[in-house]
Chains A and B, each alone.
Chain A
Amino acid sequence: MPSFERRDYSLSGGVADAVALDGERIERRVEERWWSPEIPRATLKKLTRRGDREAWWNFAPWLLLLGASGLIAALSWNSWWAVPAFFVYGTIYSSSDARWHECGHGTPFRTRWVNELFYHLCSFMTLREGYLWRWSHARHHTYTLMVGRDSEIDIQRPANLPGIIADFLYLRGGPSELARIVRHAFGVLDGDVRDFVPEGERAKMIWSSRVYVAIIAGVGVWSLAIESFLPMMFVATPRFYGGWLHHLLAMTQHAGLAENVADHRLNSRTVTINPVFRFLYLNMNYHVEHHVFPMVPFHALPKLHEEIGDRTPPAYDGLWAVYRELIPVLIRQARTDPDHYIRRALPETAAV
């Protein structure tokens, strides 16, 4: 297999074709460049309305399922039943990534402290240190898939196929994320992090990283003390052994789509999925809609889709429809043509 020179996706690398920045390393009014559909103010207000009830309808059963599956998994330890039991527990646990994301936008709960509580809990569970990733994700929304500006381009070109496969067990992203948390706990920050986390926020990030390290190390010591890996099966490791579903769903967000375009219809995907996956993934399968109006909470995204669906490319009909198109593109990127990508066709009605 030929190997192509990797593009420089770093933020501090001075990429030649990236968007121009001003003195504060931000292109002012960048938001005005993005495609945005017109939608009546009253409709938008209805869609963005906040309440705790809809969020609890999702988060309460999730917590119950997490607790129940964890209890069954613990009871089945030392038997073969532990394998399916921890598979289920790990899958539910890894739904914390979708919750980290949604709470980071501050949209699910109207009550701020509940939102923040879940934000930090889920940040820890999914191993995305909360202060760092709030800034990283803001950058992702400003410069979605703009090379050298977006800190969250997960599937870079040319596609790293073994890495993509390894991430079904979080074996590519996970160790580097853990290493970054440890580095930050010791106050060592790399150039990219300095680029998007303002100086005034770095102390919080460092202290939060120390708390993460202390908890994980504490559970590790407990495991050693009782000579059983069981405690470790409940903290941090579930994000690895149970990460498959999240990776399967999250790959559909942007992988294989256009880079450096100011139109979320061309660099993001909406895909229909079954209600169980939607419950675990908090409707992030409506990813075009999420990027176009990030202040719309997860439960209102299907309605937003109805509202603007005539101005966006058709939603993919199921995960298979996405992967049937995506897999050959990733293989082609890796083998022969690193610049190849999926060009989404815009509907005729797409003027506004």
Chain B
Amino acid sequence: MSGTWIEVCRTDEIDEKDVLGFECRGEKYAIYNTASGFYATAGVCTHEAADLSMGLVIDDIIECPMHQGRFHIPTGKAKSAPACVDLKTYAVKIEDGMVLIELPDGTFAESTA
């Protein structure tokens, strides 16, 4: 699937083992800096839409701040109730010290319509 690469932040703007919220065209995303690298997922929990950028990164898990549901960051897989539906994930790359995420082209078509 083709997409558009969007610059999010400098790599040093996200602490190790932490998450940063990012908003683009009304959609929330969560960008993670983990021991195994940078990742990006949808920014709101699939349970009741809590803001995951307020959550807690434990190794490669993001714990939701609202009810402590858990997701595997690299795959978005829901790991424990009440999180049961997987998170969308997005490709990430680092260029010149910047974190970029790839958003599907549809994101823009829809939001500008």
Q: Is A260 an interface residue (CB 8 A)?
A: no
Chain B positions 68-113 with a Cβ under 8 Å from a chain A Cβ: 68, 70, 80-82, 84
Chain A positions 178-205 with a Cβ under 8 Å from a chain B Cβ: 198, 200-201
Residues of A within 8 A of B80 (CB): 106, 112
Cβ contact within 8 Å between A106 and B63:
yes
C-alpha spacing A10/B66, complex, angstroms: 23
Residues of A within 8 A of B65 (CB): 31, 293-295
C-alpha spacing A141/B48, complex, angstroms: 11
> Interface range on chain B: under 10, 10 to 19, 20 to 34, or 35 or more?
20 to 34
With contacts A45-B18, A134-B82, A142-B48 taken as known, whether A31 is within 8 angstroms of B66 at the C-beta atoms is yes
Q: B98 to nearest A CB, angstroms?
A: 21
Picked from B49, B63, B82, the residue with its CB within 8 Å of the CB of A138 is: B82
Chain B positions 43-67 with a Cβ under 8 Å from a chain A Cβ: 44, 47-51, 55-56, 58, 63, 65-67
Q: Is A48 an interface residue (CB 8 A)?
A: yes
Cβ contact within 8 Å between A29 and B49:
yes
Residues of A within 8 A of B63 (CB): 106, 295
Cβ contact within 8 Å between B56 and A138:
no
With contacts A26-B48, A31-B49 taken as known, whether A142 is within 8 angstroms of B84 at the C-beta atoms is no
Q: A70 to nearest B CB, angstroms?
A: 31
Q: A137 to nearest B CB, angstroms?
A: 8
Residues of A within 8 A of B66 (CB): 31, 141-142, 294
Cβ contact within 8 Å between B84 and A198:
yes
> Interface range on chain A: under 10, 10 to 19, 20 to 34, or 35 or more?
20 to 34
Residues of A within 8 A of B84 (CB): 198, 200-201
Residues of A within 8 A of B68 (CB): 105-107, 294-295
Cβ contact within 8 Å between B58 and A28:
no
Q: Is A30 an interface residue (CB 8 A)?
A: yes
Picked from A29, A45, A135, A141, the residue with its CB within 8 Å of the CB of B81 is: A135
Q: B46 to nearest A CB, angstroms?
A: 11
Q: A152 to nearest B CB, angstroms?
A: 13
Which residues does B use to contact A, with CB under 8 Å?
18, 44, 47-51, 55-56, 58, 63, 65-68, 70, 80-82, 84
Complex A-B, nearest 9 residue pairs according to Cβ-Cβ distance, in ascending order? A138-B67, A138-B82, A106-B68, A31-B50, A28-B49, A29-B49, A48-B56, A105-B68, A31-B66
